[in-house]
Amino acid sequence: MRAVVRVCEGATPEEAFDTASAGAWLALDAGVRSLDDRPWLWTRPPGEPERPAPTLLDRLRGRTGPRAAPPASPPPPPPAVALCHPDGRVREAALDAVRTAPELRPLLVVRCADWVAPVREKARTALAELPGDALFPLAGLILRLARRDRGDFARALLEEALREGPAAEVLALTADPDRATYRIAYRIAVERGLLTPIELAATAAACGDVTLQDLCAEAAVAAVKPEEAVRPGASPGPDGAAVLDRLLTARSPRVRSAGVTALRRAGRHGDAEPFLADRSAVVRACARYVLRQGGVDPLPLYRELCADPAAHPGGAAGLGECGDRVTDAEALWTLVEHPVPAVRLHAISGLRALDVVVRERLTPSLDDPSPAVVRAATRALLPEAAGIPEHLLRERSAPERPRAVRVAADRLLRAAGRQRRPEPGYW
């Protein structure tokens, strides 16, 4: 609010607030109108009788004294204030100042979504006359306003400028801190082919934005040359192999799954085998699909992995996802007691996937020293919660029990309809 007052007093926007912030410009636009009915900040000279304080509207109209005596020729408000004025005629007239004041272009973008049609149309005409690269610094504000009912015009101009503008400036926007800005910049860069497959794969593997992960991973896979990906028995060239290898080493399961799936198109079916024991169920499913497409049955491989479960903990979960209820269930029950917590965790997940959970055999896992194993056992026991003796769960709700055990007992009690709120000492 102080920034709004300073601009109304004659300070430039650069002096009053961070002009690189889209939110600051929108706050100025709303703040000028919100101050309209508030007393204007002014100082009464010593000895002068007290007078009614003029409002901001009085100030904008040039009134500095009592409201009943406005000057004959009120001075105009500052251009930045006039562009946010409550009166649409003032806003419309102030748009002419933007032609000689490029620093006010953010307010021109704001007026393109104005609720008054004449103001809106005049602002849109002026914005359309600007060179395309002039819209790039305004991208964050344009995309913020695009969420409004009348904000699509400026967004369309921005997208057109990104599609036709210099590649260097489009790529520069991919590093913008604003999420909406770097997303649209990456999307246009992918459409224009401005990023190499290696760059796309590296971005997908390193970024934490899920939308960007999907966009770049799919584009990286699609960029592998068709003749490299389709020719029977052929292996991708150096670039194609590097792209897939970068995706396969990504931390995100979404990116790894895209890389594993792409192994089929690259003719590298055998390279999917290490991902049979991946910690992510999605990646494991993709690995099984690729191996089956290559004529390999993953079930015997899972049984081999479970022979050395400490080296491949995820193999227990994969065995449950494609194993036999009669043949493989007992092997998973054996792994529930394995000394490695990760093996116990995945063995319980495998039992759930195989649908062979036995309430009496799994209940002791609620006391497991690993919180992750306790949570996995709780999820597996939720459908059977009503059959667990209540006193066993009440004992695990005691304050001296570990927090993971107390939470598990509370979830199971609520699932059985025996408790509506956490017991004392739950936290």
Encode the chain (427 residues) as per-residue pLDDT tens digits: 677 788 877 788 888 888 889 999 999 888 888 765 444 333 333 444 444 555 555 555 554 444 444 444 556 788 888 898 888 998 999 999 998 899 999 999 999 999 999 999 999 999 999 998 899 999 999 999 999 888 899 999 999 999 999 999 999 999 999 999 999 999 999 999 999 999 999 999 999 999 999 999 999 999 876 544 444 454 555 678 899 999 999 999 999 999 999 999 888 999 999 999 999 999 999 999 999 999 999 999 999 999 999 999 999 999 999 999 989 999 999 999 999 999 999 999 999 999 999 999 999 999 999 999 999 999 999 999 999 999 999 999 999 999 999 999 999 999 988 765 555 554 4
* Beta-carbon count within 10 A of 306 CB: 25
Residue 265 pLDDT: 87
Residue 3 pLDDT: 79
Q: Determine the 3-state secondary structure of 238 from DSSP.
A: helix
Residue 45 pLDDT: 37
| N-to-C CA span, the chain | 42
Those residues with Cβ within 8 angstroms of residue 210's Cβ, 6 or more apart along the chain or in another chain: 252, 254
Those residues with Cβ within 8 angstroms of residue 100's Cβ, 6 or more apart along the chain or in another chain: none
The dihedrals phi and psi of 55, each to the nearest 5 degrees, come to -80, 175
Q: Residues in the chain, how many? A: 427
Q: Which of 63, 54, 116 is nearest to 85 (CA)?
A: 116
The dihedrals phi and psi of 39, each to the nearest 5 degrees, come to -60, 135
Rounded distance, CA 422 to CA 402, Å? 15
